[in-house]
């Protein structure tokens, strides 16, 4: 059983989709019930991953390998380490909640909608589990198609534009990434005499800096568009604003993490020389800092609630890439934690927008005000999500941002100083948003009779709120899970790092 556990987790949603296709399209409620069962089952089967995971073991766990295309050297290899474990759990949980949240929002073409979600779920899980570059690429591309349809069919007024823009940007990046992959693949053949896509094998490559840089930039385009890093972020506001609520949630919480995950899993370990190259680091840090501050400033200016949250993603993902390219344990661990945090808190923020949008069909911030009076439960959940996103201590956002800043500070104090302004700006736009929509008197009569959260909606939020508080209050298990994989990456990129006197204390020491 255990050796097939990852495959089980990976293909449960896909199996659910095939069963779903057998249900006649007119039985909408049956379709909804089945889709929720499949989504929830997807989460349940992933729980044993946590129980079986050994945080003290190095390398990948629960690895499964089968031959797939021997003549290309492509194999079906899946396995997880601490980083993938967290992202897989985020995917299964948020995926199930996104399906639950769509119950009343989607009335048209219900069957196709849920089929797309389940297909996408398998694609995303595959990205986080694949240990073979070919397999990874297949899953990476598979994710695009369902998301195109989710935005394009069930989206807002400019859905067609947003959907194709999303598709084209990501695809353009990924074909360049494919060329990078092929270069590595061919270099491996030249050095070792056989073709393989296995990550562990490709890591044995010894490539000159110049070639590594070329491949690095090829990967960079693919991953940076997905993250999205400044200046490749322009697809994101369009896609987010036009997507249906659950689509935005998946997009923000999980799809964007595919980019940061790509940096962590492929760019750094496979191209260590290029990743530590001062020019590369400076450019990537520079873009991250610009994204943090620019994203926050643009968020401050938004009139549209959902667009504000979308731009806040640019800012938060800037922190994640900053942490990665600080290239020290704090930065990397903080980055992964912040990726999870962003998945939780921005997922919640999008759900929150979706709930009032479903009731009022507008996202103009000016249309709202004083909602706390009529929707107290909603206001409470929003407050938690907002504070967690803003990085208030005892909530998850603080842990991630603090650790990243610690890592950035260790690498270069100026970076940390710039990034810290992003934290302040982040608090500003979020608090201001909360003030404008929730507090004060109800000025718009249309808002007087808005119903508060119902039981289903509460059920969507509760797991996320609980997770946010857990990470905020007791992050130790997360740092323990991440300790090994992060150390491996640092060891790979900066072989001398752990042999020098420690510059800063490990994250656990500080937080204990």
**Sole binder of another protein in the list 137, 402, 418, 479 (CB under 8 A):** 137
Give the CA-trace dihedral at 391, 397, 401, 402, to 10 degrees: 80
Residue 88 and residue 53: Cα distance in Å, rounded?
12
Stretch that binds another protein, among 34-42, 49-57, 172-180, 275-283 (CB under 8 A): 172-180
Contact of 172 with 225, CB cutoff 8 Å = yes
Q: Considering only residues 99-128, where is the footprint of another protein by CB under 8 A?
A: 112
**Sole binder of another protein in the list 148, 166, 311, 402 (CB under 8 A):** 148
Stretch that binds another protein, among 170-178, 253-261, 392-400, 497-505 (CB under 8 A): 170-178
Angle at CA of residue 273, ends 225 and 228, nearest 5°? 10
Contact of 132 with 60, CB cutoff 8 Å = no
The residue (of 50 and 72) whose beta carbon lies closer to another protein is: 72
Contacts of 137 (CB under 8 A, 6+ apart): 174, 177, 178, 181
The residue (of 177 and 385) whose beta carbon lies closer to another protein is: 177
DSSP three-state, residue 131:
coil
Q: Which two tokens stand for residue 446?
A: 């249309």
Other Cβ atoms within 10 Å of 385 Cβ, number: 28
The residue (of 145 and 506) whose beta carbon lies closer to another protein is: 145
Contacts of 157 (CB under 8 A, 6+ apart): 242
404-430 in b/e form (b: 16+ CB < 10 A) is bbbbbbbbeeebbebbeebbebbbebb
DSSP three-state, residue 444:
coil
Stretch that binds another protein, among 88-96, 137-145, 335-343, 427-435 (CB under 8 A): 137-145
469 near another protein, judged by CB under 8 A: no
Minimum gap (Å) between residue 164 Cβ and another protein: 6
DSSP three-state, residue 393:
coil
211 near another protein, judged by CB under 8 A: no
**Sole binder of another protein in the list 33, 160, 366, 505 (CB under 8 A):** 160
15 near another protein, judged by CB under 8 A: no
Residue 244 and residue 258: Cα distance in Å, rounded?
20
**Sole binder of another protein in the list 37, 138, 200, 469 (CB under 8 A):** 138
**Sole binder of another protein in the list 8, 168, 504, 508 (CB under 8 A):** 168
The residue (of 180 and 391) whose beta carbon lies closer to another protein is: 180
Residue 409 and residue 309: Cα distance in Å, rounded?
27
220 near another protein, judged by CB under 8 A: no
171 near another protein, judged by CB under 8 A: yes
Minimum gap (Å) between residue 272 Cβ and another protein: 22
The residue (of 128 and 154) whose beta carbon lies closer to another protein is: 154
Count interface residues toward another protein (CB under 8 A). 31
201 near another protein, judged by CB under 8 A: no
**Sole binder of another protein in the list 30, 164, 300, 504 (CB under 8 A):** 164
Minimum gap (Å) between residue 161 Cβ and another protein: 11
Other Cβ atoms within 10 Å of 112 Cβ, number: 19
Q: Which two tokens stand for residue 148?
A: 């195109």
- x-or-dash pattern for another protein, window 59-78, by CB under 8 A? ---------xxxxx------
The residue (of 244 and 472) whose beta carbon lies closer to another protein is: 244
Give the CA-trace dihedral at 371, 377, 379, 381, to 10 degrees: -150
Contacts of 424 (CB under 8 A, 6+ apart): none
The residue (of 138 and 450) whose beta carbon lies closer to another protein is: 138
179 near another protein, judged by CB under 8 A: yes
23 near another protein, judged by CB under 8 A: no
The residue (of 72 and 203) whose beta carbon lies closer to another protein is: 72
Contact of 268 with 223, CB cutoff 8 Å = no
Residues in the site for another protein, rule: CB under 8 A? 68-72, 112, 137-138, 141-142, 144-145, 148-149, 152-153, 159-160, 164, 167-168, 171-172, 175-176, 178-179, 182-183, 185-186
């Amino acid at each position: 059983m255990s050796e097939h556990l990852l495959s089980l987790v990976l293909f449960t949603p896909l199996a659910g989709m095939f069963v779903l296709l057998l249900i006649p399209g007119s039985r909408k409620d049956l379709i909804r019930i089945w889709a929720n069962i499949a989504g929830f089952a997807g989460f349940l089967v992933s729980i044993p991953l946590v129980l079986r995971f050994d945080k003290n073991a190095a390398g990948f766990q629960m690895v499964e390998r089968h031959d797939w295309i021997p003549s290309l050297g492509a194999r079906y290899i899946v396995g997880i380490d601490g980083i993938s474990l967290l992202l897989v759990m985020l995917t299964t949980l948020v995926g199930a909640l996104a399906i639950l949240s769509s119950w009343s929002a989607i009335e048209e073409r219900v069957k196709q909608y849920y089929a797309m979600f389940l297909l996408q779920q398998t694609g995303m899980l595959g990205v986080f589990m694949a240990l073979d570059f070919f397999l990874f690429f297949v899953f990476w591309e598979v994710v695009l198609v369902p998301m195109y349809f989710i935005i394009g069919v069930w989206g807002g007024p400019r859905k067609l534009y947003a959907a194709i823009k999303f598709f084209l940007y990501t695809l353009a990046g990924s074909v360049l990434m494919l060329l990078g992959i092929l270069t590595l693949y061919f270099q491996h053949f030249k050095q070792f005499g056989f073709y393989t896509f296995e990550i562990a094998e490709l890591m044995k490559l010894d490539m000159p800096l110049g070639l590594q840089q070329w491949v690095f930039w090829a990967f960079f385009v693919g991953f940076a568009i997905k993250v999205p890093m400044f200046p490749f972020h322009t697809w994101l506001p369009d896609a987010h604003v036009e997507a249906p609520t659950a689509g935005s949630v998946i997009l923000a919480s999980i799809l964007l993490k595919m980019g940061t995950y790509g940096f962590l899993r492929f760019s750094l370990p496979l191209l260590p020389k290029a990743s530590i190259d001062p020019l590369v680091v400076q450019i990537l840090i520079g873009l991250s800092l610009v994204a943090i501050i620019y994203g926050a400033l643009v968020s401050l200016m938004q009139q549209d609630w959902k667009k504000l949250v979308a731009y806040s993603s640019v800012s938060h993902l800037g922190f994640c890439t900053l942490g990665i390219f600080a290239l020290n344990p704090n930065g990397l661990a903080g980055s992964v934690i912040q990726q999870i945090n962003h998945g939780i808190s921005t997922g919640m923020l999008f759900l929150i927008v979706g709930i009032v949008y479903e009731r009022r069909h507008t996202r103009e911030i000016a249309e709202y005000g004083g909602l706390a009076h009529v929707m107290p439960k909603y206001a409470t959940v929003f407050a938690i999500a907002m504070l967690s996103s803003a990085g208030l201590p005892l909530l998850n956002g603080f842990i991630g941002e603090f650790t990243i800043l610690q890592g950035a500070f260790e690498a270069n104090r100026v970076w940390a100083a710039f990034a810290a302004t992003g934290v302040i700006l982040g608090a500003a736009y979020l608090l201001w948003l909360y003030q404008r929509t929730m507090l004060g008197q109800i000025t718009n009569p249309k808002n007087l009779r808005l119903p508060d959260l119902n039981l289903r909606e509460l059920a969507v939020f509760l797991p996320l709120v609980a997770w946010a508080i857990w990470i905020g209050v007791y992050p130790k298990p997360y740092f323990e899970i991440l300790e090994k994989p992060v150390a491996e990456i640092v060891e790979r990129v900066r072989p001398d790092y752990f042999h020098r006197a420690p510059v800063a204390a490990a994250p656990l020491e500080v937080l204990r």
